Amino acid sequence: MKKIVVFLVVLSFFSVSYAVDAKKGDINKGKQLYREVCRSCHDGSKAKKVTPMHKTTAQWKKLFDNDMARLKEKHEGNDAFNKIKAEDFDHIYRFVLDGALDSEQPQTCD
Ligand code: HEC
- Residue 110's closest CA among 22, 47, 49, 61? 49
Of 94, 106, 96, 90, nearest in space to 42 by CA: 96
- Return the pLDDT at 109: 80
pLDDT at 93: 98
Burial of 32 (0-12, 13-18, 19+ CB in 10 A): middle
Q: Provide the pLDDT for residue 7.
A: 61
Tens digits of pLDDT across the chain (110 residues): 777 666 666 656 555 546 899 999 999 999 999 999 999 999 999 999 999 999 999 999 999 999 999 999 999 999 999 999 999 999 999 999 999 999 999 998 87
Identify the pLDDT of residue 53: 97
- Ligand 1 centroid distance, CA of 76 (Å): 10
CA 50 to mean position of chain CA atoms: 13
Question: In testing the pocket of ligand 1, which one of 31, 37, 42 has its CB within 8 Å of the most ligand atoms?
Answer: 42
Q: Is 109 in the pocket of ligand 1 (CB under 6 A)?
A: no
Q: What is the pLDDT of residue 101?
A: 97
